[in-house]
Amino acid sequence: MQNEGWNLENTYAALPEIFYQNQEPEGAVSPEIVIFNQPLAKELGLNPANISPDIFAGSRLPCGANPISQAYAGYQFGHFAMLGDGRAVLLGEQITPKGDRFDIQLKGSGRTAFSRGGDGRAALSPMLREYIISEAMYFLGIPTTRSLAVATTGVDVMREKTLQGAILTRVASSHIRVGTFNYISAFGTKDDLRKLADYSIWRHFPDLENKENKYILFLQEVAKRQGSLIASWQLVGFIHGVMNTDNMSISGETIDYGPCAFMDTYDPGTVFSSIDKLGRYAYDNQPKIGAWNLARLAEAVMPLFDGSESEVIEQAKGSIAQYWGSYNKNWIAGMRNKVGILGEEPTDTEMMAELLDLMAKNKLDYTATFRSLPSAQKSPPLIDWHKKWQSRLKNQDENIMLKHNPAAIPRNHHVEEALASAEQGDLSEMHNLLAALSKPFEDSQTYSQPPKHANCGYKTFCGT
């Protein structure tokens, strides 16, 4: 067989048995690649020319794979639940030519020991949606899992109607979740917990390995990454939609693109997910939920901390403070870049709040408003604000603004159009959209435009 470039290790499968179940993908009837990420494949050290669709449709295992489904729990909408990879199989960890390690996971490859009532499958359109939005996040510079391929399996999946089954090959710096810690904390021993923390440190925070108090430092580093991640979501108007602890990665990457979407019109209370009736995961709640999730991680790792009970509690509280410190620092720095202000003045925060308030009251498009701020002196709702801003901007830097305010984001109406065509076998719109999203800071005739009918009850769905 020609060299496909696989260089897989399986360190997660070397953890104790409680962490996973051996699990082969179910296989496909007629494997076909729908989209393949050539640049990512090259970065991973794969040889795209030699790779056939069967691996990405779950019909053949790559050399060196030791397929498993990972066990985890999660607080779903605030309530603890045992979950695990109900429709995913981790093939192994690809070691890239540069020496980096990435999980290669098939999502939608059939039932597993954790499938509960589900069929373990995924439909084509939601997998393409994950492909589009995760790649958009990557090019926006936001930490994220990536998408290597989507392949159809030839197996029908039954949802409200019969749909084409598909598998997404997801690439992640790991799939260790806050929910993995919740799981081990509930069902494992202290030794298991230590192994999970040591493994997470080895994979994501190797500088901490020989430090005293490394478990506290680990929690603090996760806190900082989560704070910075969620600030970057807020800055681009991204709504994750299902921030359960099983969907929060320890690495600080955005993971699990289910009911997520970008906001068009700025409304801080925006919720897209059809099941989020109370708005727990609304745009303006995301920072608070990040802190809540981190508190669930702190509770899980606390048994590893040294010190008296009150000291341990103080340390855990300190990590939440670090989260907020990181969130606020990154948000304000990002906002300064978005409005192009250099230096710091005491009234800056107020000026930004005023802008956001005007945007909300006047139902302005979040992305387009920032992108076009320099020419907003003629836009009635912003005329006064624009004058104030101009006098603050002694040294205006429009270049900074152009680098921090995307022109092209995966707007819902464009994504839906691309997916509808793709389902009919026409991938051209999806490729055009992906091309624009890979240069998000360049103006695009088609993709920079807000929709004509913004916020008309757009709804997103989980687990499709």
Binding site for ligand AMP (CB under 6 A): 83-87, 114-115, 118-121, 242, 246-247, 256, 258, 462-463
- Whole-number Å distance between alpha carbons of 55 and 31: 9
Catalytic residue status for 103 = no
Given Mg ion, ligand AMP, none, residue 462, with its beta carbon under 5 to 8 Å by kind, binds ligand AMP
CB of 256 vs Mg ion, minimal distance in Å:
4
Q: Which is catalytic among the residues 85, 103, 192, 246? A: 246
Nearer to ligand AMP, 139 or 461 (CB): 461
Given ligand AMP, Mg ion, none, residue 87, with its beta carbon under 5 to 8 Å by kind, binds ligand AMP
Nearer to ligand AMP, 208 or 242 (CB): 242
Q: Report yes or no: 461 and 259 within 8 Å, Cβ to Cβ.
A: yes
Task: Give the 3-state secondary structure of residue 296.
Answer: helix
Among 66, 182, 247, 460, binds Mg ion (CB under 5 A): 247
Contacts of 221 (CB under 8 A, 6+ apart): 204, 205, 208
Task: Locate all alpha helices (DSSP H) within 21-70, ordered by sequence.
Answer: 38-44, 53-56
- Whole-number Å distance between alpha carbons of 59 and 371: 46
CB of 271 vs Mg ion, minimal distance in Å:
18
Given Mg ion, ligand AMP, none, residue 92, with its beta carbon under 5 to 8 Å by kind, binds none
CB of 286 vs Mg ion, minimal distance in Å:
16
C-beta atoms surrounding 141 within 10 Å: 14
C-alpha closest to that of 257 among 164, 125, 162: 125
Task: Give the 3-state secondary structure of residue 23.
Answer: coil
C-alpha closest to that of 322 among 294, 285, 286, 296: 294
CB of 152 vs Mg ion, minimal distance in Å:
22
CB of 119 vs ligand AMP, minimal distance in Å:
5
Which residues share a beta bridge with 32?
152
Given ligand AMP, Mg ion, none, residue 335, with its beta carbon under 5 to 8 Å by kind, binds none
Given Mg ion, ligand AMP, none, residue 120, with its beta carbon under 5 to 8 Å by kind, binds ligand AMP
Among 85, 130, 256, 276, binds Mg ion (CB under 5 A): 256
Nearer to ligand AMP, 45 or 463 (CB): 463
423-452 footprint of Mg ion as x/- string (CB under 5 A): ------------------------------
Dig out the tokens for 457 from the structure.
């009850």
| Residue 145 one-letter amino acid | T
- Whole-number Å distance between alpha carbons of 281 and 289: 7
Dig out the tokens for 168 from the structure.
């997404």
| Residue 222 one-letter amino acid | V
Q: List active site positions.
A: 246
Q: Which residues bind Mg ion (CB under 5 A)?
A: 247, 256
